[in-house]
Structure 1
Amino acid sequence: MRLNIFQKRPGITHEGAPARELTAAQKLRRSVLSCLLWENEFYEDGQSIADRILALACDVTPEMVAALAIEAREQMKLRHAPLMLLCALIKAGGPLVAPTIERVIQRADELTELVALYWRNGKRPLSKQMKLGLARAFAKFDAYALAKYDRDGPVRLRDVLFLSHAKPKDEAQALVWKQLAERTLASPDTWEVALSGGAGKAETFTRLLAERKLGYLALLRNLRNMDQAGVEESMVTEAILARRGAERVLPFRYVAAARAAPRFERWLDEALMETVLEQPVFAGRTIVLVDVSPSMNVPLSARSDLTRMVAAATLGAIIPGDLRVFSFSNEVVEVPARRGMGGVDAILRSQPYNGTLLGKAMTKINAIPHDRLIVITDEQSQDPVPDPVAAKAYMINVASNRNGVGYGRWTHIDGFSENVLGYIREHESFFQKNGDFVNVERV
């Protein structure tokens, strides 16, 4: 018998439970689609996650990298992780580079962020495809967008303009770019510019709301300022309920706004519930199981007091249909199946945040009759996780940890955008039309 041989060890979660062996594509998806780049998570630091994304992107096809970058930006509403994927795609080269850059870049400051990421280890020439993609993306932005994001930094918008050799489509655009290069663009009409220029808060926000010039995320982030400044309540609530630009806002942002400005929670709750009402309900009985273990209770970013647990609870509170809702940590606790803010609070207060016994939770859930199971978690279990008994079983992963348990008989989905629920509808609709339902990894 030979002893001096390599023995491949099965993967385990950070908590010690057996994890599924994953392909490079699966590893890349779970690292990217819930990733706020460079931000530390409970088990892994942001640098390690970023390094893994780059390494894994080299192990899959350029087509997969391009598609994932687009999905991360458009569906999961992430900003920096898609740019890191673009860096990997640029390194691989090929005709996909330019069109993918053009599509992924949706804000003018992402032009400079991409170049800064590309130069993070030192300046180097830009490839022809990278220049072409930047030039095409540059042409998408008007004078207002360019002025708004023309910020001081190692890379400025004028630098990207010169590096990409972008060509204006007409004389009007040529004039805007000339003004950008000369730093003579008119200051954008934003709340930041107005307040820095000495205008009062009440005056500024009242005018911007009346002229519909305040973006929805800016609205949510400034509710406390508006409340303290005495902006007319009806103007603020009308803007909240109008949800202009809300398609780019992640669900947990409503919870953050309600915490900052409790006065407006009633209307924020109504706006959040629109994400439920816009979609058809799930047929049959759905069980929702939300992870409230300690690893979920850490900030999403260094500047945020929101956690992945809040993101998970918010998803759990906007699922439409006939529900039973449970949370798990050391215990499994049934939670009132409330929607919106009430549902979020019920999940977060359901039990102490102790262990991570997903296997124990699954044993109990499998004994309860249901048609569909949706587990929202970071997939880090202390105990082995049994397979689900429901044919329609979904594991929604809201973290970027290296290994996870939600594969095999699970339909595995990564991300904390409400679009993960849209994928479940599409998945079930497809198999309803085409035959037997099967669980698949979304790759």
Structure 2
Amino acid sequence: MSKFNTTASRASGSSPVKTERRPSGVTHEGAPGYVRDAKGELFLLAVSNMVGEDTFYERARDRDDRFERLVHQVAVEDGEWLSRFLPWLRTTANMRTAPVVAALEAVRARLAAGLHGLNRQLVDGVLQRADEPGEALAYWTSRYGRAVPKPVKRGLADAVRRLYNERSLLKYDTASKGFRFADVIDLVHPAPAADKAWQGELFAHALDRRHDREGKPIPDSLTVLRARAELAELPVEERRAVLADPGRLAAAGMTWEALAGWLQGPMDRQAWEAVIPSMGYMALIRNLRNFDAAGVSDEVAERVAARIADPEQVARSRQLPFRFYSAYRNAPSGRWSRALDRALTLATGNVPSFGGRTLVLVDTSSSMTGGAVSRRSTVTPAQAAALFGVALAARGERVDLYGFADGVFRHEVGRGAPVLEEMDRFCKRIGEVGHGTQIADSVRRTYEGHDRVVILSDMQTMSGYYGAEVTDTAPSHVPMYGFNLQGYRRAAMPTGSGNRHEFGGFSDATFRLIPLLEAGRSAGWPF
């Protein structure tokens, strides 16, 4: 009798997040827990770590300390790996604070170990927005004082040359910041970029405005700043007339926040319609409710919707997918829903369209619903998990989607269904089957010969009523993918080989590894 040469046999690939083969501890809920290697633990923590935020099982300080220890270890053991990972974390996984903190802590650890290569590049590679050099300096000085090492300064100077321009000065150089543009310039002494003849005068002007040198005129080369200054000199009673010329507002780098203060009056339909053409993508999706409240015209709304659904703008925006769900919930009218659903589809392009039969389980327990993913968000980890679960169901061939906690509930989603609408319907059922985390029992109750199992959870399962471990609840030849949305230390099953794999995060970035594994190939790091 054949044990291995059967129609069910398939090639088994390896994946990068690896654990020990036997449990050395327990999950937060007491089930057998498998410790990952340092890179795997850092990877899963980083792709879900908002920094300074409590989670259900970890206080912010404990979580940040664990993150810091892992960064220090990996920075010394394999700086090359980290130099690839951190830019990917910032630009592809769309995390903002974690890569900045990691880069600075990595440089500190490497300098302490006498390692001097890569450090400048580590810092420069994670800074992608003009307010981030100041953010990085604020972090460093609050932790380690005003003595900033040369590699950090040089990396910051490289970023300043890339990122500082007139519009970024107007947007981010505000009195609310502890480190203004001039403070960064004073500390890191960047030379102007060779291909930006105006940048030297921009640096000088930033210093003048920081130090209240009001007598100096704005240089002629800084046309955006001069245009803004002209608008600022207009009498208040004449300013609303400028709304008839949106191009003038755009030329002056006028954001909607600045416009509201400059007008010293209401942001009514006329004001919104004047500034909408020059608004950034994130500003658009955050203000859909305001557009409706002000009564912007259908013609303008159609242009906004077209921008929201534009593939290039979605890609450039680097929005985490759950941001579109937040916008969908906040917008009171239906005229945005199709565009937001299209944008979400584009933002989750790496979520695979499985063939065959797929079992998808979304964790709706208390640990996934007890708080938002960050203080600035109202979306919970359970809702983020539901987003991916519904996307899998809408794209797959034959997908059985379940929510689970102490029990399970089946949720029907038709192929090609609108993800946001179906996700909203799914989320209304959260709490329906209790509040515990019974992963093993939930798989046992729902597995019926499926070709694969996908579990979207924090993976901190209870031991289960039947005593089975998660990994044993489906046959060993059936791939089981854990998608981890919190990155706690111990895994619920051994991963990295043998058809048991783990990914994670709040973006779709790591889903791109699954097609490789489905093809029987090994999947390395996604960067």
Structure-2-length-normalised TM-score: 0.75
CA contact (8 A) 2:405 2:437 kept: yes
Among candidates 44, 47, 58, match of residue 30 of structure 1: 44
Among candidates 410, 430, 436, match of residue 334 of structure 1: 410
The Cα shift of 1:134 comes to: 0.9
The Cα shift of 1:14 comes to: 1.0
Distance 1:233 1:309, change over 3 A: farther
Matched positions, count: 427
For each residue in 1:345-392, what CA deviation from the matched residue of structure 2 results, as whole angstroms up to 9, or x when unmatched? 243234344111001012234x42222322111111012423443543
2: distance between equivalents of 1:46 and 1:321?
37
Corresponding position: 1:102 with 2:170: no
- Listed as ranges, the matches of 1:309-324 within 5 Å are 309-319=382-392, 320-322=395-397, 323-324=399-400
Corresponding position: 1:207 with 2:274: yes
CA contact (8 A) 1:290 1:377 kept: yes
Structure-2 residue corresponding to 1:144: 167
Among candidates 348, 359, 363, match of residue 444 of structure 2: 363
Q: Which moved more, 1:246-255 or 1:313-322?
A: 313-322
2: distance between equivalents of 1:38 and 1:277?
30
The Cα shift of 1:279 comes to: 7.4
Distance 1:140 1:80, change over 3 A: same
Structure-1 residue corresponding to 2:58: 44
For each residue in 1:373-413, what CA deviation from the matched residue of structure 2 results, as whole angstroms up to 9, or x when unmatched? 22111111012423443543211111132322143342111
Give the 3-state SS of the residue equivalent to 2:254 in structure 1: coil
Name the Cα RMSD after superposition.
2.5
The Cα shift of 1:125 comes to: 1.9
2: distance between equivalents of 1:296 and 1:29?
20
Structure-1 residue corresponding to 2:401: 325
Give the 3-state SS of the residue equivalent to 1:197 in structure 2: helix
Among candidates 288, 304, 310, match of residue 377 of structure 2: 304
Structure-2 residue corresponding to 1:5: none
Give the 3-state SS of the residue equivalent to 1:163 in structure 2: helix
CA contact (8 A) 2:27 2:460 kept: yes
Q: Percent identity?
A: 29
The Cα shift of 1:277 comes to: 6.8
Structure-2 residue corresponding to 1:416: 506
Give the 3-state SS of the residue equivalent to 1:34 in structure 2: coil
The Cα shift of 1:146 comes to: 2.8
CA contact (8 A) 2:503 2:511 kept: no
1: distance between equivalents of 2:170 and 2:123?
21
2: distance between equivalents of 1:106 and 1:439?
28
2: distance between equivalents of 1:414 and 1:427?
16
CA contact (8 A) 2:409 2:433 kept: no
CA contact (8 A) 2:154 2:188 kept: yes
2: distance between equivalents of 1:308 and 1:180?
41
The Cα shift of 1:259 comes to: 1.2
Give the 3-state SS of the residue equivalent to 1:302 in structure 2: coil
The Cα shift of 1:258 comes to: 1.3
CA contact (8 A) 2:314 2:343 kept: no
For each residue in 1:228-274, what CA deviation from the matched residue of structure 2 results, as whole angstroms up to 9, or x when unmatched? 11112342333333355322111111111111113133432233234
Give the 3-state SS of the residue equivalent to 2:142 in structure 1: coil
For each residue in 1:176-211, what CA deviation from the matched residue of structure 2 results, as whole angstroms up to 9, or x when unmatched? 2222222267253211111111264223331233x3
Structure-1 residue corresponding to 2:231: none
Among candidates 55, 76, 86, match of residue 69 of structure 1: 86
Structure 1: which 5+ runs fail to align? 1-7
Structure-1 residue corresponding to 2:313: 245
The Cα shift of 1:439 comes to: 7.9
The Cα shift of 1:437 comes to: 4.5
The Cα shift of 1:106 comes to: 0.6
Structure-1 residue corresponding to 2:460: 380
Distance 1:251 1:77, change over 3 A: same
2: distance between equivalents of 1:47 and 1:273?
35
For each residue in 1:104-123, what CA deviation from the matched residue of structure 2 results, as whole angstroms up to 9, or x when unmatched? 11101111111111112242
1: distance between equivalents of 2:523 and 2:33?
17
Corresponding position: 1:87 with 2:104: yes
CA contact (8 A) 1:17 1:381 kept: yes
2: distance between equivalents of 1:328 and 1:34?
21
1:133 is matched by which residue type in structure 2?
A: G
CA contact (8 A) 2:361 2:403 kept: yes
Distance 1:215 1:119, change over 3 A: same
2: distance between equivalents of 1:244 and 1:438?
31
1:75 is matched by which residue type in structure 2?
A: T
For each residue in 1:70-108, what CA deviation from the matched residue of structure 2 results, as whole angstroms up to 9, or x when unmatched? 222122211111111012122114221222222211101
1: distance between equivalents of 2:332 and 2:311?
18
The Cα shift of 1:9 comes to: 8.7
CA contact (8 A) 2:133 2:160 kept: yes
2: distance between equivalents of 1:75 and 1:278?
11
Structure-1 residue corresponding to 2:281: 216
Distance 1:426 1:216, change over 3 A: farther
Structure 2: which 5+ runs fail to align? 1-21, 210-217, 229-252, 464-468
2: distance between equivalents of 1:100 and 1:405?
33
Distance 1:189 1:316, change over 3 A: same
Structure-1 residue corresponding to 2:358: 286
Larger RCO (alpha carbons 8 Å, 6+ apart)? 2
CA contact (8 A) 2:23 2:35 kept: no
Give the 3-state SS of the residue equivalent to 2:402 in structure 1: strand
1: distance between equivalents of 2:361 and 2:351?
21
Give the 3-state SS of the residue equivalent to 2:510 in structure 1: helix
Structure-2 residue corresponding to 1:4: none
Structure-2 residue corresponding to 1:394: 481
2: distance between equivalents of 1:154 and 1:369?
58
Distance 1:279 1:53, change over 3 A: closer
The Cα shift of 1:427 comes to: 4.5
Q: Which moved more, 1:172-181 or 1:261-270?
A: 261-270
